[in-house]
Amino acid sequence: MKSVLIRNVRRLDPQAGTDASGDLAFRDGVIVDAASGPFDEVIDGSGLWLMPGIVDLCARTRDPGATQKGTMRSESNAAFAAGITALCLPPDTKPVIDNTAVVIRVNRIAKAAGGAYVYMLGALTKGLEGDALAEISALKSAGCVGVTNGLAPVANALVARRALEYAASLGMTVHVVPLDAALANNGCAHEGAVATRLGLASIPVAAEAVAMRQWISLVEDTGARVHFGRLSSARGVELLAAAKARGLPISADVAAHQLFLTDAALEGFNAMAHVLPPLRSAADREALRDAVGSGLIEAICSDHQPHERDAKTNPLPLTEPGISALETLLPLGLQLVEQGLLSPLTLASRLVRGPAQVLGLPARGLAVGAPADLCLIDPSQEWRLQAAQMNSVGRNTPFIGTRFPGRATRVWRG
């Protein structure tokens, strides 16, 4: 492997908590002393930012099982080109990641694909059916970094409690997307004026709050670690803050699109803005932004869900939810910096340090001896997202045509 020296670059190291200009070099996939040349390539980093590669807490590659929407090769390479060097896959593949054979199969596909590193969450229940617990111990031994039932409901509180007890005995984090299925009632929009005007079945904020309250109560009883994924509401933020104030082992993330869009994006029956949990009110969005800024929410993820064109062309309630979001994760983050919500170092923390801690991955920093998983960013390279230029198979995003203030220009993985 070649060696590289990057001179005069702004180094954003969320692990060390430092933001300072200087040189950084790596050789054979490891960061080395910048004075240990010669180097095969020298890059002028003036005006550029360098941080560890992004860790995305939730991204679907659709492989195996739905390769008309995307493949491991297409999506992991799209992630890598966008500055993401590690992806975490939820278990809702086909077949479901609920046994070691599927873990081995997905690892084999990921290794052949290249691109970003791939980590997996195992299924909390067999087949994600919500009743019988999966073999969480075997999934951990096979390399899963957590367990979840995703958007599939757990049958009842007793199953949830037993799952937490099982996971806690193994030191595994349970990832929860808090959305009560009965209250959600197959809705497709936030309960509010937009849904009423468009005649869309709605999902109340209570669907998130009720689910969170149940899981928080069970954490109090079991001491298990729970990560709430894809929060969408101000009430969810309040419940998170109260639980953390009591010292409970709880963390949370938010999808980047929830920090920018509201249910108003559904106007005109825009299926590109159909997501679960739904886009909510401006007040909810502001509460989420404040929580990310304060660190109450530790991580921002893409919640990447690529779809083929047909999946978004039916009447809105019949379309499949989700956004192709790998290629907008960092650019939306850079908009948060441009808008003054986050500092560059804090953005690096929300995209790298926070997600890595949730998954229990080794610390990612810029110290000598660390793996050279790196993302070089030009914060002044303005561009617009065009569907034809996307690397993901999925072009389903409401951000087509959006102007972004910067992007990843070079990415290295180990």
Residue 253: strand pairing partners? 299
Q: What is the C-alpha to C-alpha distance for residues 329 and 320, in angstroms, rounded to an integer?
A: 21
- pLDDT, averaged per 10 consecutive residues of the chain (414 residues), comes to 93 97 96 94 98 98 97 98 98 98 98 97 98 98 98 97 98 98 97 98 98 98 98 98 98 98 98 98 98 98 98 97 98 98 98 98 94 97 97 98 97 94
- Which residues are known catalytic residues? 303
**Which residue bears the tokens 């502001």?**
286
CB-CB contact of 179 with 235 (8 Å): no
Q: What is the pLDDT of residue 165?
A: 98
Quickly list H helices, 37-99: 72-81
The pTM for the full model equals 0.97
Q: What is the C-alpha to C-alpha distance for residues 88 and 268, in angstroms, rounded to an integer?
A: 33
Give one DSSP letter per residue of 149-209, joined into a string.
-TTSPPS-HHHHHHHHHHHHHHTPPEEE----HHHHTT--EETTHHHHHHT--EE-THHHH
The three-state secondary structure class of 20 is: strand
> In the chain, what is the straight-line distance between the N-terminal and C-terminal CA atoms, in Å?
10
For 362, the token pair is 């080794």
Length of the chain: 414
For 159, the token pair is 């199953």
Q: What is the pLDDT of residue 364?
A: 87
CB-CB contact of 188 with 321 (8 Å): yes
Number of C-beta neighbours around residue 270 at 10 A: 14
The CA angle 116-120-126, to the nearest 5 degrees, is 155
For 276, the token pair is 């679960």
Q: What is the C-alpha to C-alpha distance for residues 178 and 118, in angstroms, rounded to an integer?
A: 24
Q: What is the C-alpha to C-alpha distance for residues 349 and 281, in angstroms, rounded to an integer?
A: 26
The three-state secondary structure class of 404 is: strand
Domains of the chain: 53-363 (3.20.20.140)
Q: What is the pLDDT of residue 1?
A: 64
Quickly list H helices, 223-300: 234-245, 282-294
Q: What is the C-alpha to C-alpha distance for residues 15 and 125, in angstroms, rounded to an integer?
A: 34
